[in-house]
Structure 1
Amino acid sequence: MRNKLFSLSFVMALSLSTALTGCGSNNNNNTGAAATEQPVATTAPETATNAPAEATKEPAAGGADISGKITFLTNRTDMIGKEYDEYLKRFNEKYPNIEVELEASQTDYNQQSKVRMASGELPDIMFIPTIPNSDLPKYFAELDDLGLNDQITFKDFKSFEGKLYGITTGNSTSGIVYNKKAFADAGITEVPKTWDDFLAACEKLKANGVIPLASNFKDKWPLNDWVYAVPRIIEGKADFPNDKLGSDTPFTMDNGYGKSFSLLRELNEKGYLEKDINSTNWEQSKKDIASGKFAMYFLGNWVINQITGAGTTSDNVGFFPLPYDNSGTPVAPLSPDFFYAVAKDSKHVDAAKAFVKWMIEESGYEDFAGFISPLKGKESTLPQLKEFQSTGVVLQEGTVDNATVTEISNKAQLDLPAVLQEFVLAKDPQTVFDKWNKAWAKAKKDLGH
């Protein structure tokens, strides 16, 4: 897929629009995962069968001809007993003979999913973990028969040999989500448009007794945008991670990785992050942003609704692009979130597919989660996206990483958020890059690349 830059207004016009991606209360965010190089390859379990999946039947009026009990493994533990109950009630009005059982992921979703895949005990519906697309047919049923191929965004991300295996739950962009009152109380009258402006705003917030940016450093996953999105934007190349294939030293201080990582390091050195970044708490941070104890997140717009749910009003939460340099020209990523998939060996593939299609078309989940809709043509209900748009931001559409990048990264045990943690805390950050350049070069050589 070639790189694309879209103005946000153009994205809206083309209907890649509406609300953003979300993580559950158990910290299992995967924003932009499909566009990242954060994989651990999983081989098919020996117990997996190659029997053809049950054919999907076109539902009769009301879907009464489709039946079965299916399980959906979700990371959104915060929605169980709440929004999911309302979804299932509405779903059963259309499909009265399908029983959906929700299974909550209480640990790292990506890792838990891989364990389930290795054991051959998959739920009927799940989100696709970070595995090579070539492995998708081993585990999941084709979704081309849902009639959504011409309507969905990021169709190629979870496809293999022309077959669709996953559909994004929603799309997101990343930026600075901020508490407007905290800004006003610190005397900040305009959102920062350059990195120097951003640092000046952080200094005003700090002087006013507010922690400028909640990094949630310890939890690691909130650092994803710094390692997967910002380097691509700085380089002006959505497929920048693939440049690693032509180098034995992909991590340098003057390329996208070094420049992006140095931004967070600078914020930490200036005292603009949490006082003890090794003991951060995700759930508490949402309450602290809502109360104004913390002023900002750098995350996807999926988090906006979670902040308003943590104790403030929507009109107190704003959203603007991260001004990562002094050019004054804002660019932000457009990325898919988790991808729905149906287990290939489900006993009720047709029922599972009906639920996935209903979630995409009718549930309204994307608005609740604060996503840009996976469907072309649905507009966001989030006023914060209108503020974001007013900056003239350009959106860089994510691309699929080369499978060889994934292979080498796995071999080198390369975990970019963990590398960033090392980089920020190191006495000499160059030594961190030296270490991982060596690991990359060795893995590349060992694999014959």
Structure 2
Amino acid sequence: MGNKKTTAFSSAVLAAVMLTLSACGGGGGGATGEVAAPPSDPKEVSGEIRVLTQRTDLVQNGTLQKYAAEFNKIYPKVKVKFDGITDYEGEVKIRMNTKAYGDVLFIPGAVAKNDYPKFFAPLGTTAELSKYRFSDKTEVDGKVYGIAQFGTANGFVYNKKVWKQAGVTEWPKTPEEFLAALKAIKEKTEATPYYTNFKDGWPLVQWTNNLGVVGCDAQAGNALAGAVSPWKAGSELNAGDTLLYDIVKQGLSEKDPTTTNWESSKALLGGGQIATMMLGSWSITQMQDAAEDVNGSAQDIGFMPFPVQKNGKHCAALVSDYQQAVSIHSENKPAARAWIDWFTEKSGFAETEGVVSAVKSAPMPATLKDFTDNDVTFFDRSEAKTATVNDIDEAAEIGLNKQDYRQKLIDTARGAAKGSLEDFFADLNKRWDEAAKTVGS
């Protein structure tokens, strides 16, 4: 499963990872500013393209080759080859010091946003790509350099059977109600109410993806681009991190977080030994599969929004996965762009995977039926100021998109690290605001 996990959360986890890559000049058919435009006649598009992917599982089991066969029914003269890479970030950042890094690739988190024009061909203007979600994530000077593979909603994946055994049949509307529900699970069932996945670490980053749910605010991420004390009382980050702190402080999570195991946790949640975990909606199908594997039922797996409401409704943030891009050095840009457009709009990949299509007009996946049936408000969280926010985050050495600071938060809550929650937030605010003054907004 590891590769599937990386698909869904890697963009969020790696967004803050910055490194300097040597700039590549135009050449080999690529030139700075040359647009990889959608081809007008499929039958005139030809050439071989190499598609880089971290989904080694889909390469090995032939799934991607089946997609390519469907693509060839429309684009018969294009040959698609896949290059599955286990250590995608590590390997691709090395390849990008040359001109040979494929024709189509996911934009590595290691590439600074302002450097996109050095490595990728523009796909069009912001207006031209407005039919896609998350296009501002890769927009530089009015041009878009990537199209999201898909999006994911954020919330809690949970075992409905366990929650029902505890007498909780409605989604909590407040953090207090959520904590009360976890206490009921602890008292009335044998399940661990909440599982942090502390040891693997990356699931802790999923909490950052709740930015905006308190105020149902698509601009919540952009609002961090300045000396704004992000953890002040009433803020988005304060709400999420306070809830996580309280869960651990009140003994509602696993006894020893240093021994958690991601792979095992899926079967434990599917079988009812764990009640709840904070994850993206990409995880739903995995938990359903795990439930079936341990003689449970896929119907036991539910997904609930963060326990806050605005105007009587829950809100859920939609965030982008990896963005598909065309190498500036590709000699077959029309074919590369054809693949991206077809895969995004026609392949059915998002529907099969149970994730949110990057196409705004597409319906929500069946995995989010509980959300749509209960009138949850979805919003695409803007990432227009992601580059500035990442710069501040890096200068402050906090790591909004890394696991370390929330591991320290959990250690503080369980008494393994000294200090209070108030002191913890005060330190984060001070570091953030001081860094913001050096970076600018």
Give the TM-score normalised by structure 1.
0.81
Query: 1:433: how far off?
Result: 3.7
Residue from 351, 354, 376 that aligns with 2:335: 351
Query: 1:42: how far off?
Result: 4.0
Write the distance in 2 (CA, Å) between the matches of 1:26 and 1:284. Answer: 14
* Number of aligned residues: 421
Q: What secondary structure, in the 3-state scheme, does the structure 1 residue paired with 2:193 have?
A: strand
CA contact (8 A) 2:156 2:305 kept: yes
1:361: which partner in 2? 345
1:316: which partner in 2? 300
List runs of 5+ in structure 1 lacking aligned partners.
Answer: 1-21
1:227 partner letter: T
2:415: which partner in 1? none
CA contact (8 A) 1:286 1:306 kept: yes
The answer to whether residue 63 in structure 2 is matched with residue 79 in structure 1 is no
Which of structures 1 and 2 has the larger relative contact order (alpha carbons within 8 angstroms, sep 6+)?
Answer: 1
1:213-252 equivalences in 2 (<5 Å): 213-230=194-211, 232-247=212-227, 249-252=229-232
Q: What secondary structure, in the 3-state scheme, does the structure 2 residue paired with 1:298 have?
A: strand
The answer to whether residue 382 in structure 2 is matched with residue 399 in structure 1 is yes
Write the distance in 2 (CA, Å) between the matches of 1:123 and 1:315. Answer: 41
CA contact (8 A) 1:422 1:432 kept: no
CA contact (8 A) 1:23 1:30 kept: no
CA contact (8 A) 1:59 1:66 kept: no
Write the distance in 2 (CA, Å) between the matches of 1:91 and 1:448. Answer: 45
CA contact (8 A) 2:36 2:122 kept: no
1:7: which partner in 2? none
1:17-166 equivalences in 2 (<5 Å): 24-25=3-4, 27=6, 29-30=8-9, 33=12, 38-49=15-26, 51-52=30-31, 58=39, 60=41, 63=43, 65-68=45-48, 70-80=49-59, 81-107=61-87, 109-110=88-89, 112-118=91-97, 121-130=100-109, 131-144=111-124, 149-166=129-146
Write the distance in 2 (CA, Å) between the matches of 1:254 and 1:217. Answer: 26
Write the distance in 1 (CA, Å) between the matches of 2:231 and 2:376. Answer: 27
Write the distance in 2 (CA, Å) between the matches of 1:32 and 1:398. Answer: 14
Q: What secondary structure, in the 3-state scheme, does the structure 1 residue paired with 2:199 have?
A: helix
Cα RMSD over matched residues?
Answer: 3.3
Query: 1:306: how far off?
Result: 1.7
2:406 partner letter: L
1:191: which partner in 2? 171
Write the distance in 2 (CA, Å) between the matches of 1:228 and 1:381. Answer: 19
2:275: which partner in 1? 295
Q: What secondary structure, in the 3-state scheme, does the structure 1 residue paired with 2:275 have?
A: strand
Cα deviations across residues 150-172 of structure 1 (Å, max 9, x unaligned)?
A: 53223332122222211111222
List runs of 5+ in structure 2 lacking aligned partners.
Answer: 413-417
2:393: which partner in 1? 409
1:390 partner letter: D
Going from structure 1 to structure 2, the CA distance change for 1:243 and 1:155 (only over 3 Å counts) comes to closer
2:411: which partner in 1? 425
Going from structure 1 to structure 2, the CA distance change for 1:196 and 1:351 (only over 3 Å counts) comes to same
Query: 1:211: how far off?
Result: 1.8
Residue from 193, 199, 204 that aligns with 2:184: 204
Write the distance in 2 (CA, Å) between the matches of 1:251 and 1:189. Answer: 32
Cα deviations across residues 348-372 of structure 1 (Å, max 9, x unaligned)?
A: 2222212111111221110122112
Write the distance in 2 (CA, Å) between the matches of 1:268 and 1:132. Answer: 35
Query: 1:435: how far off?
Result: 4.3
Going from structure 1 to structure 2, the CA distance change for 1:281 and 1:96 (only over 3 Å counts) comes to farther
Write the distance in 2 (CA, Å) between the matches of 1:214 and 1:105. Answer: 30
CA contact (8 A) 1:166 1:339 kept: yes
Going from structure 1 to structure 2, the CA distance change for 1:420 and 1:355 (only over 3 Å counts) comes to same
Query: 1:438: how far off?
Result: 4.6
2:16 partner letter: P
1:15: which partner in 2? none
Query: 1:60: how far off?
Result: 4.2
Write the distance in 1 (CA, Å) between the matches of 2:425 and 2:19. Answer: 27
Going from structure 1 to structure 2, the CA distance change for 1:79 and 1:179 (only over 3 Å counts) comes to farther
Q: What secondary structure, in the 3-state scheme, does the structure 2 residue paired with 1:178 have?
A: strand
CA contact (8 A) 2:8 2:152 kept: no
CA contact (8 A) 2:157 2:284 kept: yes
Cα deviations across residues 152-202 of structure 1 (Å, max 9, x unaligned)?
A: 223332122222211111222212222222233334333333333322322
Write the distance in 1 (CA, Å) between the matches of 2:405 and 2:263. Answer: 24
Going from structure 1 to structure 2, the CA distance change for 1:173 and 1:347 (only over 3 Å counts) comes to same
1:167: which partner in 2? 147
Cα deviations across residues 261-305 of structure 1 (Å, max 9, x unaligned)?
A: 111111122333233322322222222222222222222212112
CA contact (8 A) 1:333 1:396 kept: yes
Going from structure 1 to structure 2, the CA distance change for 1:243 and 1:366 (only over 3 Å counts) comes to closer
Cα deviations across residues 40-83 of structure 1 (Å, max 9, x unaligned)?
A: 3444524443642586573645x464121x32222323323143
CA contact (8 A) 1:167 1:341 kept: yes
